[in-house]
Chain A
């Protein structure tokens, strides 16, 4: 163990013992370092694996579920969609520009190494309060710029995302990225070395000291010292990545590439043991063949370096030159570093000297850690906090609400991303909740990622299931059917029983939603150790759920454009569920209350009902109701469509005691539907047949948003709403408005 400390590794005593037993001898320094990278939480899922088994992974569209670099779904006509989710939280907290940029780079290669071309990105970001913290504004600005510079340069559009601000992310921002790829099913390639005699070619950038211990770093809590750890953040080079993407796709077209693995977390050690373990073979490499950035690198450094823009190719023996020619065309560096063997060992040599020979299976399967869980006391306490007083001037409150950074327009963010390149983006950021992309076979996919740390903090089970429900609502609102999901689970230190309790509840909530709604999980990621070094507190639990929807034709797609004369209906009942709402937290500064609950049976009926209404062509436009409740949803609707609305609040089906609850509750399962006069009765009949509450609550007219409550009226000019909604973020970020 002393050696482990001297080498600055994170291996536990049990893990060293596991390694010792597996080897049948004392491990060398190199073996300790390799196991440390491979068995980091980040690479091995050692704490989360037992719980993740709860998630359903099978389904009609699923070709490959979790466990690979990306999930694969069948989108028809011989085409597949690949999808993966990743985060780069710790690197971005230290170096926001480089951390966020390399996060994009990493996930692009995950998609690429399945043999598919990356076609779209979603960026899901969480920071501390940009109202009060200049540090958070700095992180926000540079994270967005890092994503922008990288994604734009490689020519993969960033078609959507989400941004949330909460003080728990002050020193541990969350930078999640989802990537999608498209290709032919027949062109899929896996991260495996199946044929002894094949060559292993390392392609791309030089191996250097940047990114050393990156995975272990990601699996430890950020400390004061972390600021000194910039060498653990990789240096981004989007141009090199772009050349790798094109060279890889061209190389794959030769049919000689039989395995492909992105080198990300854990570097060569992870890459080599994984391709051998998955392929049921062994590998033998010579470290003197690895092109290095610095001459004097130690074998340990070479094996665990996480230098960016590198891929491992497994190429059919005898055809190396055919593939190499393509790398030369693109000016991409490559080196044949070894070969596939049949002995099931990872053999690392320096010239003729064998440095280590270790079973691939031992390395690739970290010993599982069974963690214990304890429900924190605050959960029950915070449920019972007294309600705040209802504001006198609710019009003013609505203006304040839509100016909150969590609700205000994110145009400042998405305008910095090229969301058009590739000619696939049908519904663009700001237009609809979910982005819609066309596929080469004439079908359409919708993609959306959601999170809600405030709900999940107060009630991780309902919060997490609710995040899933919210992502699905966005997918349904554009007229597509949810067919698959990805999850990214971000929590504090799993050895903290309360953190692990929240994690377990969250996974349970997601799994229950997935099972009930029959939406399989095709991939995911777990990120632990997200803690604030100053307060010593974990971030609020933050599962991020990405959902993919599919539509067979353009006719199925529904916009969110409401024009004059449109009748406005609401689906679903509004309940007094304001815990974790923007209204409680942003307006009243109140953390507590009961968060929106998820009723799985209701959700099943709702999905079928909404798709039926859309497929019958009864909905001219749809919006889902989420953050900020009915008030924020209708205000945004007015702004985006440039129209006014007159709403009779007494018509809204509800179980609330107060007007503010109807306006601001974030109850799940609600949609706003616009219909032509005369069609609203048909919509109501369909809803009744599914036992979904539905009422006509108003009409699109004039230039004001008006809520009628008996004789009282709340009245807001759409121009004022728009100014408030659009100006918040540019103003906070120092841009002229």
Chain B
């Protein structure tokens, strides 16, 4: 198993994701510069968080036109795991690999804090190690994370079980207070119909080591373990 972590100009969490894959999980992973063309030889790809191209124009929109995205699309079509975290989610949405849009937070401010997430779909390549309804702790850090999709699209998302994570209270109940950015139906992460492309605003790589987690939990690690299909 070999994972490519794409580095766009302005990516910030590339080294963090790479650290979790290599130092925490001991798998092979490379930082791949977006202009370096090919992803052949990789079994999965991660688009990390950050501010690709400074988020100028609109978050993720310029990176969506990077040549590397053709390769990412190819891998998605081949059924290989494609994970977009935060800015990576924005890029996947802008490039049409995932439905919906990510808009400015309702509070009109950047928000960085730990939130609770409920697993809505545990049948994706990234959530198979969770149980449905399980509540996870992970941090968010974004300015444009308010998920939106039109009513028709929302219906389709639900029909195909594409809502993967929702923001909730610690006990798993949804509330206005626990929705940190005003996302429609508190959606924090969605997948494609096939379940091999996932985008989420929270940062699983920041919730992968007990020392960095206020509660000592390492809930985020399972996203990577699932993706890598690691046993144990």
Known contacts A153-B10, A155-B12, A239-B10; decide if A421 and B141 are in contact (CB<8 Å): yes
Known contacts A423-B19, A423-B206; decide if A417 and B51 are in contact (CB<8 Å): no
B9 touching A423, Cβ below 8 Å: no
Known contacts A152-B141, A153-B51, A239-B51; decide if A421 and B107 are in contact (CB<8 Å): no
Report chain B residues within 8 Å CB of A428: 214
In the complex, given contacts A423-B20, A554-B211, what are 5 additional A-B residue pairs having Cβ atoms less than 8 angstroms apart? A152-B110, A416-B109, A416-B111, A423-B212, A428-B214
Would you list 5 pairs from A and B whose C-beta atoms are within 8 A, ordered by A residue?
A: A152-B51, A242-B10, A331-B9, A421-B16, A426-B211
Tell me, yes or no, whether B203 is within 8 Å of chain A by CB. Answer: yes
Chain A, range 131-190, C-beta contacts under 8 Å to B: 145, 148-149, 152-155
Known contacts A152-B141, A431-B214, A554-B211; decide if A420 and B9 are in contact (CB<8 Å): no
Tell me, yes or no, whether B169 is within 8 Å of chain A by CB. Answer: no
Residue on B nearest A246 in the bound complex, by CB: B9
Tell me, yes or no, whether B71 is within 8 Å of chain A by CB. Answer: no
Interface centre among B49, B112, B211 (most CB of A within 10 A): B112
Distance in angstroms from A719 CB to nearest chain B CB is: 15
A412-439 to B contact mask, C-beta < 8 Å, 1/0? 0011111111111110100100000010
Residue on B nearest A241 in the bound complex, by CB: B54
Residue on B nearest A148 in the bound complex, by CB: B110
B54 touching A735, Cβ below 8 Å: no
Distance in angstroms from A642 CB to nearest chain B CB is: 12
A330 touching B109, Cβ below 8 Å: no
Known contacts A423-B19, A423-B205; decide if A415 and B112 are in contact (CB<8 Å): yes
Known contacts A416-B110, A423-B205, A431-B214; decide if A153 and B54 are in contact (CB<8 Å): yes
A-B interface contact total, Cβ < 8 Å: 84
Report chain B residues within 8 Å CB of A331: 9
Tell me, yes or no, whether B139 is within 8 Å of chain A by CB. Answer: yes
- The answer for the CA separation of A416 and B141 in the assembled complex, in Å, is 8
Report chain B residues within 8 Å CB of A417: 110, 112
- The answer for the CA separation of A251 and B94 in the assembled complex, in Å, is 32
B113 touching A415, Cβ below 8 Å: yes
A426 touching B51, Cβ below 8 Å: no
Distance in angstroms from B44 CB to nearest chain A CB is: 20
- The answer for the CA separation of A239 and B11 in the assembled complex, in Å, is 10
- Our pick among A149, A330, A418 for the contact of B141 (Cβ within 8 Å) is A418
A419 touching B112, Cβ below 8 Å: yes
Main secondary structure of the interface of B (DSSP, over half): mixed
B56 touching A425, Cβ below 8 Å: no
A420 touching B50, Cβ below 8 Å: no
Report chain B residues within 8 Å CB of A426: 211-212
Residue on B nearest A429 in the bound complex, by CB: B112
A536-563 to B contact mask, C-beta < 8 Å, 1/0? 0000000000000000001000000000
- The answer for the CA separation of A417 and B113 in the assembled complex, in Å, is 9
Binding site for A on B (CB under 8 A): 9-10, 12-13, 15-16, 19-20, 33, 35, 49-51, 53-56, 107, 109-113, 139, 141, 143, 203, 205-206, 209, 211-212, 214
Distance in angstroms from B17 CB to nearest chain A CB is: 9
Tell me, yes or no, whether A243 is within 8 Å of chain B by CB. Answer: yes
Report chain A residues within 8 Å CB of B206: 420, 423
Report chain B residues within 8 Å CB of A155: 12-13, 50-51
- Our pick among A145, A238, A243, A554 for the contact of B9 (Cβ within 8 Å) is A243
Report chain A residues within 8 Å CB of B49: 421
- The answer for the CA separation of A213 and B107 in the assembled complex, in Å, is 38
- The answer for the CA separation of A268 and B94 in the assembled complex, in Å, is 41
- The answer for the CA separation of A428 and B139 in the assembled complex, in Å, is 12
Residue on A nearest B139 in the bound complex, by CB: A420
Report chain A residues within 8 Å CB of B12: 154-155, 242, 421
Report chain B residues within 8 Å CB of A152: 51, 110, 141, 143
B13 touching A421, Cβ below 8 Å: yes
A420 touching B56, Cβ below 8 Å: no
A735 touching B51, Cβ below 8 Å: no
Residue on B nearest A427 in the bound complex, by CB: B214
A425 touching B55, Cβ below 8 Å: no
Chain A, range 322-342, C-beta contacts under 8 Å to B: 329-331
Distance in angstroms from B196 CB to nearest chain A CB is: 26
Distance in angstroms from A325 CB to nearest chain B CB is: 13
- The answer for the CA separation of A735 and B109 in the assembled complex, in Å, is 11
Residue on A nearest B107 in the bound complex, by CB: A735
- The answer for the CA separation of A420 and B209 in the assembled complex, in Å, is 12
- The answer for the CA separation of A96 and B13 in the assembled complex, in Å, is 28
Chain A, range 422-458, C-beta contacts under 8 Å to B: 422-426, 428, 431, 438
Interface centre among A153, A154, A431 (most CB of B within 10 A): A153
- Our pick among B15, B33, B54 for the contact of A242 (Cβ within 8 Å) is B54
- The answer for the CA separation of A645 and B110 in the assembled complex, in Å, is 35
